[in-house]
Structure 1
Amino acid sequence: MPFSAVARAVEDQFHHDTIPVLRRRGWRPRVIPYDGYGSSANGDRQQGEGDMARVLARMVMRPQDAPKEGPLFARLPEEIPTTAKDVREVRDITATNILAAQRGWRMFIDAPVPYLPVTVRVGGAAVRTRADRSGYVDVVVRGHGLAPGWHEARIEAAGSQPVTASLLIVAPGPRLGVVSDIDDTAMVSHVPRMFVAAWNQLVKHTSRREPVPGMAEMLTRIQQAHPGTPVIYLSTGAWNVVPTHRAFFKRHGFPRGPMLMTDWGPTNTGLFRSGIEHKRTGLRRLMIDLPEVRWVLVGDDGQHDPLIYGEVAREHSDRVAAVAIRRLSPAEHVLAGTQLAHPMGLGPEARTLAEADVPVVVGADGEQLARRLPSGLLTPQG
């Protein structure tokens, strides 16, 4: 038996044994909703025909006084401040955004409820399903009849209070869209570095992470130049950090958009999910779900974004408007362990991008990328 299968069995048994204990302590199932997306029917079709909505959520066990979403242990104290500066930082963080001030490691402590019966209602349509073995719900609802824009889906889970999840419904017809990575593209987090990544994700105050200069402005300019442009954030980060990422994006002026993350637990093929396959699958699904959208793909060269985006652009050049790659600094590459392997301009990643018949720009931050992107992507079309 593969070791990954043993790990899955141990994880499943742990969840199975934990839930009754938590119930005796007064814990109950709670739905954690995530932003989803969908399409609206073309004008030549009847209302409710040809549209879809992808609804995303997770079922977890929570005490009745737990926060609506975010970390399970929201009230655990941070380290004792030892200087006046530390006292001011704790005060400011608490006053401005309690959720964003949580230690990252709390976001990974959860008790999922596997296989819980769930009903999802979107507009005039409803679907009955079950959560998967890790408590996640990822369901498509068709025939909802909703107009373009932001809407809400209602999620009803057995033993839990109903909640609503936000949905971005994309208007029909040809249009531009943006897919952006998060770590080291929108947010400086040094994810390729194993130990520093662990510190950033599990220990460091999420409110102390920094945005990549100019990236929020670039994405906003694209969206303003092309009204109705959906912005989708596709990342190998864990679903658990979505609430803090959402607060981070709002605080730093990033366009609102669904986040497509992943679960870090064991799978059928290994102990951890493949980040490359997660992004490949996510991009292909977006092209299927939103067939009239041409995408601007934004990433960085610290992991595998150039290779993944190059493959997609080479195979579907008619669906990719441009590729924008943030070049990490030499110091970031040293820490990432990629500087000696395939720097931009050499190696299979760059060759794959070069073979794609789409505009490709490279820059150190959002300001440089914006200057190098085709002007039509950043200026309103008359």
Structure 2
Amino acid sequence: MSIARRVGSRVRSPRTVLATVGARSEQVRPHWAARLEDVKNAVVGRGLRRLHWDLRLQPFHGYGSSTRVRVMAKVLYSSPGTPADFHDQPVHDMRTMAVRGWRNFASQVVPYSTVHVLLGGQEFSVRADRSGIIDAEIDIDLPPGDHRAVLWTVPGNEVTADITVFPTGANVGLVSDIDDTVMVTWLPRPLLAFWNAFVVHQSSRQVVPGMPMLYQRLAREHTAMPVMYLSTGAWNVFPVLKRFLYKNGYPDGPLLLTDWGPTNTGFFRSGRAHKERALRRLVADFPGMRWILVGDDGQHDPSIYADFASELPDHVEAILLRQLTESEQLLAHGTLRPLAQQRRGTHAPPMATAPDGHGLLAELERAGELP
């Protein structure tokens, strides 16, 4: 089969799509922590290449429309002999998924690598950023449904990535936070990365009661509803979170995570800014979609969602907030009460608050949002 090679104008970087002030600030002289990380990556990378370590890809779940898809992955070094598909095990392979978390935190990224993508019988070339992350938009015509993209850096290390193309007729989607919204961790937020990486027993994670049922009910009510999981968690814990969602009956969908390393503008990335950018990108990707925004009242979800609804009211279907207990509030931000939030705008979308998914479902039914 002949493969048409598509590069250049057919692949769009997220920065060309999101021409914002924040994106332009990435072009200034990098922060000293980012420069230090670049030096570390270069030195360690040279050492691993001398030891004949290979390049491996960790694919993430991509998404898109019938004319454009977003492909996401991470380029890493792996020791000689590591199978090329080490990061491509089925999500139901619990044993493999359990050991993957700590390896991801210990892995060395490969910045600025060229990655080839085969999708829909066409080949594209994309490039990783300084953190080894592939995040590229590809213009391609695909029918709605689940697709598999083949990614590789050199022949022999191919992996496959899930790509979900949402139907054109879908007009309501769901965006859900993860920590303390669908999953209770019972740990202070700064320890979540360590917990997700090293605690591998399913019994150590608690699902929020009723949340899977709520999401499944919403999916039945809104046919072909896209489901996106938006979190400030690191890409390193993608396999562990995928496993948790699968095990507990949540609808499958892409995860929108972030890289916790230094940026060109600071030592740490802003979790709030990550969520705000992700929501605006979804509006750009699906201009006709209205989103059900689900989060918790332990951090900044209420204000993020309220600001977003005030700015773009035509793109918000409803806001659902899980109310944390006093103990969970203490672990989330150090006080027993929710952070002070300010509702903005005069045309606020429907909002429901409850301690769990059962209560949120009852609130939606009571308000007439669900039959």
Residue aligning to 2:111? 114
Structure 1 portions without partners, runs of 5+: 41-50, 72-94
Query: By how many angstroms is 1:129 displaced?
Result: 2.3
The CA deviation string for residues 357-376 of structure 1, in whole angstroms up to 9 with x for no partner, is 20010010111111112576
Residue aligning to 1:141? 138
Cα distance 1:20–1:181, how it changes in 2: closer, same or farther (>3 A)? Answer: same
Query: By how many angstroms is 1:121 displaced?
Result: 3.0
Match of 1:219 among 215, 226, 237: 215
Please say if residues 197 and 237 of structure 2, whose CA atoms lie closer than 8 Å, have aligned partners that are also in contact. Answer: no
The CA deviation string for residues 179-238 of structure 1, in whole angstroms up to 9 with x for no partner, is 0001111111256543x4355234433532111111111111111222211100010000
Query: How far apart, CA to CA, are the structure 2 residues paired with 1:274 and 1:98?
Result: 33
1:343 aligns with 2:338: yes
Q: Which amino acid aligns with 1:118?
A: V
Name the TM-score, length of structure 2 as normaliser.
Answer: 0.84
Identity over the aligned pairs, expressed in percent?
A: 41
Please say if residues 190 and 197 of structure 1, whose CA atoms lie closer than 8 Å, have aligned partners that are also in contact. Answer: no
Where does structure 1 differ by over 6 angstroms across 4 or more consecutive aligned residues?
none
Query: By how many angstroms is 1:175 displaced?
Result: 1.6
Residue aligning to 1:33? 59
1:237 aligns with 2:233: yes
Q: Which amino acid aligns with 1:366?
A: G
Query: How far apart, CA to CA, are the structure 2 residues paired with 1:29 and 1:138?
Result: 18
**Aligned-pair RMSD on alpha carbons?**
2.6
Cα distance 1:147–1:96, how it changes in 2: closer, same or farther (>3 A)? Answer: closer
Residue aligning to 2:274? 278
Query: By how many angstroms is 1:157 displaced?
Result: 1.6
Query: How far apart, CA to CA, are the structure 2 residues paired with 1:328 and 1:114?
Result: 39
Please say if residues 39 and 52 of structure 1, whose CA atoms lie closer than 8 Å, have aligned partners that are also in contact. Answer: yes
Other structure's SS at 2:362 match: helix
Query: How far apart, CA to CA, are the structure 1 residues paired with 2:241 and 2:82?
Result: 19
Other structure's SS at 2:60 match: strand
Please say if residues 59 and 116 of structure 1, whose CA atoms lie closer than 8 Å, have aligned partners that are also in contact. Answer: yes
Query: How far apart, CA to CA, are the structure 2 residues paired with 1:104 and 1:65?
Result: 20
Please say if residues 185 and 212 of structure 1, whose CA atoms lie closer than 8 Å, have aligned partners that are also in contact. Answer: yes
Please say if residues 103 and 203 of structure 1, whose CA atoms lie closer than 8 Å, have aligned partners that are also in contact. Answer: no
Please say if residues 302 and 338 of structure 1, whose CA atoms lie closer than 8 Å, have aligned partners that are also in contact. Answer: no
Q: Which amino acid aligns with 1:29?
A: L
Residue aligning to 2:16? none
Cα distance 1:6–1:160, how it changes in 2: closer, same or farther (>3 A)? Answer: farther
Query: By how many angstroms is 1:16 displaced?
Result: 1.0
The CA deviation string for residues 45-95 of structure 1, in whole angstroms up to 9 with x for no partner, is xxxxxx100000111011244363459xxxxxxxxxxxxxxxxxxxxxxx9
Query: By how many angstroms is 1:337 displaced?
Result: 2.8
Match of 1:328 among 321, 324, 335: 324
Q: After the TM superposition, which residues 247-262 of structure 1 pair with which residues of structure 2 at under 5 Å, given as runs?
A: 247-262=243-258
Query: By how many angstroms is 1:351 displaced?
Result: 2.2
Other structure's SS at 1:318 match: helix
Cα distance 1:356–1:27, how it changes in 2: closer, same or farther (>3 A)? Answer: farther
Query: How far apart, CA to CA, are the structure 1 residues paired with 2:214 and 2:96?
Result: 26
Q: Which amino acid aligns with 1:102?
A: V
Cα distance 1:96–1:174, how it changes in 2: closer, same or farther (>3 A)? Answer: closer
Match of 2:200 among 198, 201, 205: 205
Residue aligning to 1:180? 176
1:59 aligns with 2:54: no
Query: How far apart, CA to CA, are the structure 1 residues paired with 2:248 and 2:281?
Result: 28
Other structure's SS at 1:370 match: helix
Residue aligning to 1:43? none
Cα distance 1:98–1:56, how it changes in 2: closer, same or farther (>3 A)? Answer: same
Residue aligning to 1:92? none
Query: How far apart, CA to CA, are the structure 1 residues paired with 2:184 and 2:274?
Result: 21
Match of 1:373 among 343, 364, 367: 364
Cα distance 1:4–1:339, how it changes in 2: closer, same or farther (>3 A)? Answer: farther
Other structure's SS at 1:296 match: strand
Please say if residues 100 and 206 of structure 1, whose CA atoms lie closer than 8 Å, have aligned partners that are also in contact. Answer: no
Query: How far apart, CA to CA, are the structure 1 residues paired with 2:176 and 2:269?
Result: 20
Query: How far apart, CA to CA, are the structure 2 residues paired with 1:150 and 1:163?
Result: 16
Structure 2 portions without partners, runs of 5+: 1-27
1:17 aligns with 2:46: no
